[in-house]
Structure 1
Amino acid sequence: MLASQRRSVILELVEESGAVKVSDLVERLGVSDMTIRRDIERLSSDGLLERVHGGALALGDARSSEEPGFSAKSLLQLAQKQAIARAAAQRVEVGSAIGISAGTTTYELARAVKDIPQLTVVTNSVPVAQLLHESGAPGQTVVLTGGVRTPSDALVGPVAVAALRALHVDLLFLGAHGVDDRTGLTTPNLVESETNRALVSSARHVCLLADSSKWGTVGLSTFADLADVDLFVTDDAFPERARAAAREVVGSLEIAEA
């Protein structure tokens, strides 16, 4: 296959799914990792896609009502998300009941706590439930809310809300599409917003996991105020001005070294 043909295939796959991983392209196209990375770099320089760590994303407008899929978001700020997850996981005690909302940063949190025994995990995230079901430590119990599945692999709607109203967790790990000192925590999905409010109501303490790129992003619907957050864990690229604004409102701000 010629380089131009290979790049056409890559671009087509990105446009179809919204995101591709280098490892998947290597297997599919039968070429080296470096060849794929050069192809992605060329397509990125031509303005045809966005190059990110580990793959590529389709170009798109960042509208307040736009909701990227789980696979697309999982490629963004991966090192930061993993650092945030490692830091937040230190707050989890053996035998506790925790909530984990849907999202790619919270998925990394699930990876970081999967070896902690005797946890009860309440989640509306299909990937989180699958991960803990397949590789969780002995004695872990996973409660999946049920509901209607969104593009971000969250289970939402009245079934999820009804389940959460009957449940109570010690600590909720919460993700967000956007975080802002004026609009609080936001999401593009109105129904997911309602479900996130139910998650917050179920928790004694709320821990927000959001990388620095989320600050200043405003989605369609607010589901929590910053004042509802007991602990905000973000990465070391979080701007100083934003740190000052966050510290005025949240219970505690923790900066994870990415």
Structure 2
Amino acid sequence: MLAAQRRELILEQVRRTGAVRVTDLVERLGVSDMTVRRDLDALESRGELRKVHGGAVAPAGASTEEPGFEAKSTLQVAEKHAIAREVARLVEPGSAIGLSAGTTPSIIAEYLRDVPGLTVVTNSLRVADVFHRSARTDQTVALTGGFRTPSDALVGPIALRSVHDLHLDLLLLGVHGMHERAGFTTPNLMEAEMNRALVEASRSLIVAADHTKWGTVGISTMAPLDRCDVLVSDAGLEAAAREVLAEHVGELVIAEAAGGGAEDEERTGR
């Protein structure tokens, strides 16, 4: 297959799903890892995609651009699992918790099935399904209603009313982006409104965000950095970002991906 043909196939998949993984492309195209990476370099130089760790995504667009759940679920998988394991350790048995929508929260839900006595409030169809499929009977999931977003979140007036009188011990929040001045953001205005309501209803806030979220700014802020009690990210988070975050969040936890050792997480805080 000619290089031009390979690159057109890569672009076709990026346009269709929003993201590609190097390992998948090696298998699909029958070429080496280095050949795929050269193709991605060439496509990035033309502005047709953006390289990320382990693959590539569609080029960054406006602050309202929001990839679908399936596209985001292929990115930073190992990092998201490391983050989810660490977040689950921070949740006390018997807590009433909120869990937002997104790919990282849906992975966190898998790990929370081992925490006894939880009451889980979520506006995520994916999160609700995780607990619905669980054999456990001591967990309550209150699924709020409303309109569905690309992240499979339910938002809107009905969802907001259902959160209004809640008092949660803890909110586990996934984010689209985090920035020193903009705080934790999302590209969806209605999802931002819903998440702000969940933040307001919660005594403590844990944000789960892999390193690619740093520097990304969506159109709407859900919470400032200093509202976050614990931020859990991964080892790919650059040193400058760690310094900024450690000054603003209550505690910064760096979770190691599989192979790094479960006890190797790094903690800093203000």
User: TM-score when scaled to structure 2?
Assistant: 0.80
Percent identity at matched positions?
52
Give distance in 2, aligned partners of 1:240 and 1:49. Answer: 26
Matched AA of 2:27: M
- Kept after mapping to 2: 8 A contact 1:190/1:221: yes
Please report how far the alpha carbon of residue 44 of structure 1 lies from its aligned counterpart in structure 2 after TM superposition.
3.6
Which residue in 2 is equivalent to 1:172?
171
For the residue of structure 1 that corresponds to 2:133, the secondary structure is: helix
- Kept after mapping to 2: 8 A contact 1:118/1:137: no
Instruction: Flag structure 2 segments of 5+ consecutive residues without an equivalent.
Output: 258-270
Which residue in 2 is equivalent to 1:60?
59
Which residue in 2 is equivalent to 1:154?
153
Please report how far the alpha carbon of residue 87 of structure 1 lies from its aligned counterpart in structure 2 after TM superposition.
0.6
How big is the alpha-carbon RMSD for the aligned residues of Structure 1 and Structure 2?
2.9
The correspondence of residues 210-221 of structure 1 with structure 2, limited to 5 A, is 210-221=209-220
Matched AA of 2:113: K
Instruction: Flag structure 1 segments of 5+ consecutive residues without an equivalent.
Output: 27-32
Give distance in 2, aligned partners of 1:12 and 1:178. Answer: 26
Give distance in 1, aligned partners of 2:51 and 2:228. Answer: 33
Please report how far the alpha carbon of residue 118 of structure 1 lies from its aligned counterpart in structure 2 after TM superposition.
2.1
1:232 aligns with 2:225: no
Which residue in 1 is equivalent to 2:112?
113
Please report how far the alpha carbon of residue 15 of structure 1 lies from its aligned counterpart in structure 2 after TM superposition.
2.6
Give distance in 1, aligned partners of 2:218 and 2:96. Answer: 29
- Kept after mapping to 2: 8 A contact 1:103/1:125: yes
Please report how far the alpha carbon of residue 194 of structure 1 lies from its aligned counterpart in structure 2 after TM superposition.
0.6
Aligned length: 250
- Kept after mapping to 2: 8 A contact 1:53/1:78: no
Which residue in 1 is equivalent to 2:82?
83
Going from structure 1 to structure 2, the CA distance change for 1:230 and 1:58 (only over 3 Å counts) comes to closer
Please report how far the alpha carbon of residue 102 of structure 1 lies from its aligned counterpart in structure 2 after TM superposition.
0.7
1:244 aligns with 2:220: no
- Kept after mapping to 2: 8 A contact 1:97/1:171: yes
Give distance in 1, aligned partners of 2:243 and 2:191. Answer: 29
